[in-house]
């Protein structure tokens, strides 16, 4: 709850009543940023619903608005519950980035097809699974983010609210913070020094963490090519940690290698630990449910993205977190 003041009244705004959108306004409301190359100024609109409370002694000072009695037993109080504040502020956004090749760690098929093309295609697929035309206005959390979706969102001018990435590779996070986060307020990146047999062998185990290294909560949590490199114990822990970071009506979307011939789990290339982590779908579904999620849908990839994504789950928070 946030409070402010106005002559003759108290202004109260509820945090969950504040809505922020940074949707693209390029066609109508953007202009070149003076002295800034490669960036434009975008209009950010913050809408807050506020309640104004006046005592009977201050009503003469109140705006000419229709009065509605509050539920308070004090007959001296009245409130105007439907007043809306609209705040405009400018923010700089990047138009294009050039990611160093050494930071690109995608599969050869992805690199051959194009990082931006596959990134845009997968984000469009995510939107379709969410039954939306795009990701406009959504706050996204990408666990194991790499650089692909940041590159696609910026260079393809895709609509979204905000994008937060978590990554175990410190060089990737350092570059993203310096080259993207510092220049575009829609992006935030966090380094997570957590153990993974493929990507981060010398780090502390996931069991030593009780939360993801982010602040706040998100509309959509993404895990593209994340569970494809997690052993069952870490997959179970990851699902629980993600559950803590999702909003009540948010969604979790992630891909996983699934094979019904596998009993529960198989590390398919033992000489390269967790290069290909395969699950029995029913076993993974049990992990999802015990992690505090309810499965909305489970799909094999459509033909046009077979080379870019494994089978995928769309989930929503269960009624009670585990």
Instruction: Tell me if residue 227 falls in helix, strand or coil.
Output: helix
Most confident of 72-76, 107-111, 130-134: 130-134
Closest CA to 305 of 35, 59, 118: 118
Residue whose structure tokens are 């153990």? 195
Q: What is the pLDDT of residues 292-314, one digit of tens each?
A: 999 999 999 999 999 889 999 99
| DSSP class per residue in 21-87 | E----HHHH-EEPTT-TTEEEEEEEEEEEEEEEE-TTTGGGS-S---EE-S-S-TT-EEEEEEEEEE
Closest CA to 241 of 211, 207, 221: 211
pLDDT band at 107 (very low <50, low <70, confident <90, very high): confident
Instruction: Tell me if residue 249 falls in helix, strand or coil.
Output: strand
Superfamily of structural domain 96-317:
Vaccinia Virus protein VP39 (3.40.50.150)
Domain ranges of the chain: 2-91, 96-317
Q: Contact, 18 vs 47, CB < 8 A? A: yes
- pLDDT more than 90, % of the chain: 66
pTM here is: 0.76
pLDDT at 4: 43
Instruction: Tell me if residue 316 falls in helix, strand or coil.
Output: strand
Structure tokens at 176: 């993203």
Task: Give the 3-state secondary structure of 251-306.
Answer: EEEEEEEECCCCCCEEECCCCCCCCCEEECHHHHHHHHHHCCEEEEEEECCCHHHC
| DSSP class per residue in 147-214 | THHHHHHHHTT--EEEEEEEES-HHHHHHHIIIIITT-TTEEEEE----BTTTBTTSPPGGG-SS-S-
29 CB-side CA count, 13 A: 13
Q: Cα separation of 169 and 74, whole Å?
A: 59
80 vs 6, higher pLDDT: 80
Q: What is the pLDDT of residues 40-85, one digit of tens each?
A: 555 556 565 554 444 444 444 444 444 333 444 444 444 445 556 6
């Amino acid at each position: 709850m946030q409070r402010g003041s106005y002559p003759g009244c108290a202004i109260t705004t509820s945090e969950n009543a504040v809505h922020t959108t940074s949707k693209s306004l390029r066609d109508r409301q953007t202009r070149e940023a003076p002295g800034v190359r490669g960036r434009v100024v975008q209009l950010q609109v913050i809408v807050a619903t506020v309640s104004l409370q006046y005592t009977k002694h201050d009503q003469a000072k109140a705006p000419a608005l229709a009065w509605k009695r509050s539920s308070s037993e004090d007959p001296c109080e009245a409130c105007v519950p439907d007043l809306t504040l609209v705040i405009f502020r400018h923010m700089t956004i990047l138009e294009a980035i050039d990611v160093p090749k050494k930071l690109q760690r995608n599969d050869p098929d992805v690199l051959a097809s194009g990082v931006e093309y596959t990134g845009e295609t997968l984000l469009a697929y995510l939107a379709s699974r969410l039954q939306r035309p795009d990701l406009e206005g959504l706050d996204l959390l990408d666990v194991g983010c790499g650089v692909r979706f940041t590159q696609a969102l910026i260079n393809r001018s895709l609509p979204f609210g905000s994008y937060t990435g978590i990554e175990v590779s410190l060089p990737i996070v350092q570059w993203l913070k310096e080259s993207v986060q510092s220049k575009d307020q829609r992006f935030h990146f966090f380094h997570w020094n957590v153990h993974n047999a493929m990507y981060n062998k010398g780090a502390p185990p996931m069991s030593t963490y009780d939360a993801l290294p982010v602040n706040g909560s998100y509309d959509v949590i993404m895990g593209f090519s994340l569970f494809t490199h997690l052993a069952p114990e870490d997959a179970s822990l990851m699902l629980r940690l993600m559950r803590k970071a999702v909003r009540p009506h948010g969604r979790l979307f992630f891909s996983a290698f699934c094979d019904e011939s596998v009993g529960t789990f198989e590390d398919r290339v033992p000489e390269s630990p967790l290069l290909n982590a395969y699950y029995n779908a029913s076993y993974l579904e049990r992990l999802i449910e015990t992690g505090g999620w309810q499965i909305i849908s489970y799909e094999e990839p459509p033909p046009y993205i077979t080379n870019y994504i494994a089978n995928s789950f769309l989930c929503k928070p269960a009624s009670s977190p585990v």
